Amino acid sequence: MQNIRNIAIIAHVDHGKTTLVDKILHSGNVFRENQESGELIMDNNDIERERGITIFSKNASVMYKDVKINVIDTPGHADFGGEVERVLKMADGVILLVDAFEGPMPQTRFVLGKALELGLKPLVVINKVDKENCRPDEVYDKVFELFFNLDATEEQLDFPAYYGSSKQGWFNTENVRTENILPLMDGILEHVPAPEAHEGELQMQITSLDYSKFLGRIAVGKVTRGVIKEGDWVALAKPDGTAKKQKVKEIYTFSGLGKVKATEVKAGDICAVVGIDGFQIGDTIADAENPEALPVMHIDEPTMNMSFGINNSPFFGKDGKFVTSRHLVDRLTDELERNLALRVEPTSDSNTQLVYGRGIMHLSVLIETMRREGYELTVGQPQVIFKEIDGVKCEPYETLVIDVPDDYSSKAIDLVTQRKGDLLVMEAKEGMQHLEFEIPSRGLIGLRSLMLTSTAGEAVMAHNFLEYKPFKGAIAGRSAGVIISKDQGTSTPYSIDKLQDRGKFFIEPGEEVYEGMIVGEHSRNNDLVVNVIEAKKLNNIRAAGKDDSSSIAPKIEMTLEECMEYIQADECIEVTPNFIRLRKIHLKETDRKRYEKSMGA
C-alpha cells in the first residue's frame, strides 16, 4: 500500500495540465531513449488534439523511487465536469495547476470544490512563471483565498506550493529555475497519502469504462477494500440493491500509457476488469457471498437540452452511413453508458430525441463525434432547462469571467448587461480589465462570437454553473435575419454577386443548396428568400461569357458550436460527415407562414 500514490491533475482549460502530465511520464522513464513520444501524449483523441483541450479523463502510471504513481488526467472545461466528478473517486490527492498570470478561474473553483469535499490532499502548482507579466505571489494569495472560501480543512489549507514551467520542464518550491520536475515528484511522494486499506471483503466502484474490440466493455476503478483475483466469482452490486454473480476473466493494471495483465490487484490500486457484463458507471464489484455496494456517485444535473432528430432534408442519405431513427437511438443509448452528465428522453415524434447536457461544448463534442462516425442528424436550438422552486420559475445562472484590454472593457460590459448580466467585480491588472459577472445561462448563448467581434478577438472568456435563480425575463436574440434559398440546385457566381448588398453569405459559388436552406445573414432584421442558382442568360446580342466571381466576398465559415449559438427556435442544423448546413425547420415558405400564423394565434 505504501508503494502506491493515486493523484488527479485538475486545472482550467489551457493552463498546461496535459503538458505537465507529459513531463511526469518522461520523468518516470516511460519511454525508451530513442522513442518518439510527441507532445500532449494523453490527448490521443482527434477532437482533443484539434481543439487543444482534454475531453475524456485518462489513466497512466509511472514508477518513481520504487513507488507506483497512478496519474489521472482530467478535463479542464466545466462542460465535462461529469468526467471529473467520477474520476476523483479514484484519487487520494490532487495537483491543482494554476496559470501564474490568470490565477484561479471559475472552472478551477468547481473542480477544486469537488476534490476538497472528498477530502483529497491538494498540491498547488503555479505554472507558466516564465511568461511576461506573470504574478506568482499574487496568484498564490488568490489560491489560498479560494481554498478558504471553499471551506477547506486546516490540513488542506496547509498545502505545499510549487513554481515553474511545465513547457520548459522544471518545478521547485521556490521560484528559482531548476533542471527538472523531480522536486514536484518528491512532493507527490511526501504529501499525497498512500491509499487507505479498509478491512473487509472486496469492494471496487466502477468509475470509468474502457472498450476493446476483442474484450468488449472493460470496467475501470479503484479497489477500495479486499483483493480482486483473476478467475474469481464476484457480485456486481447495483444501486437498487440487486446483485448478480459474475466471473472475472482478466485483470489489468496501468503501466505507463498502457495496461499490463495481473493475476490479482490489492486495495489501493487502480485496475481494469474484463468479463463483467451489464455494468454501469457507479456500480460496485463486490464479494460474491456478501456483496456490499458503495454509495452512488452524485453527478450534477444537466442545464441545457437540444433535440436530436434524423436528417430529413432533401440531401438525406447522400453522405452518411447511419441515417435512421433506430441508428440514432442506439448511438445515444451507448453514449449514456459512459457519459454520466448526459440524459436522453424520447419526444412525441418517434424520429426525435431530447438530449440533455452540461453546455454547448458538451453537446457539440457528442455531435462532432457522431458525424465522424458516419451519422447524419438534425439538431435544434439549445434550450436552457427551467425548474420550479417553491412555486417560482427559476433558470440556471453562471459566473462569467472576462479578461479584456482596457480599451474594450466598456464594450464587454455593455454586451453582458444587455443579456441580463450583473457586474460583480472589476479589477485592473497590467493594462487589462478583469471582469466578473453573474448571468443567466441563456445570455451566454451566442455571446462568445459577439464578444470576440466587439473586442477585436482580445477578450478571454470563462464561465461556470453557479445555481438556479428566479427567471430574469426575456433576452433579445439575434438581431439580424437570414437569407434563405428559394430553390434546389447549384449556386452560381452570377446570383451571389448580384445579392452581395443584401448581406453576408455562408456559401460560395458551386455549392449544392435546397429550398429552405439558410445561405447567408441578411443585413436587416427580417428573413429574405432569394434565388442563388440563377445562371447568366444567353442571348444573340451578348455572349454569356464567364461569371465574374473575383468580386465575391469570401463566405463566412462557422464551426459547429458557432452554428449552435447562431440558430433561432424556427431553425436547425443539418449535420453529416462532410457538411454542416443551417436550415429552416419548415423548408417551404408557405409552411413557414402557416406556422408563424398558428404561433401568432
Q: Which of 217, 227, 349, 322 is nearest to 277 (CA)?
A: 217
SS3 content of the chain, % helix, strand, coil (to 5): 25, 35, 40
- Work out the end-to-end distance of the chain between its first and last CA atoms, rounded to an integer number of angstroms: 70
Cα separation of 91 and 98, whole Å?
19
Burial label for 217, CB within 10 Å (0-12, 13-18, 19+), is middle
CB contact at 8 A, 538 and 544: yes
CB contact at 8 A, 423 and 435: yes
Cα separation of 370 and 576, whole Å?
9
| DSSP single-letter state for residue 78 | G
Instruction: List the binding residues.
Output: 14-19, 127-130
Render the burial of 339-359: b for 16+ CB within 10 Å, e for the rest.
Answer: bbbbebeeeeeeebbbbbbbb
Angle, CA of 27, 33 and 34, to the nearest 5°: 140
Give the start-end residues of each E strand in 392-545: 392-405, 422-429, 432-440, 460-470, 482-485, 489-490, 503-505, 512-513, 518-522, 528-530
CB contact at 8 A, 162 and 168: no
CB contact at 8 A, 9 and 21: yes
58 three-state secondary structure = strand
Q: How many CB atoms lie within 10 A of CB 34?
A: 5
Cα separation of 497 and 510, whole Å?
13
Give the rounded distance of the alpha carbon of 421 from its chain centre: 23
Burial label for 180, CB within 10 Å (0-12, 13-18, 19+), is middle
Q: Which of 80, 40, 78 is nearest to 60 (CA)?
A: 40
- Grid look-up 440558430 returns 567
Which element (helix H / strand E) includes 496?
A: helix 493-498
Cα separation of 161 and 187, whole Å?
9
Instruction: List the binding residues for GTP.
Output: 14-19, 127-130
CB contact at 8 A, 341 and 302: yes
Residue 516's region, left for phi above 0, alpha for psi from -120 to 50, else beta, is left
Q: Which of 15, 39, 265, 30 is nearest to 127 (CA)?
A: 15
- Interhelix angle 409-418/447-454, nearest 10 degrees: 150
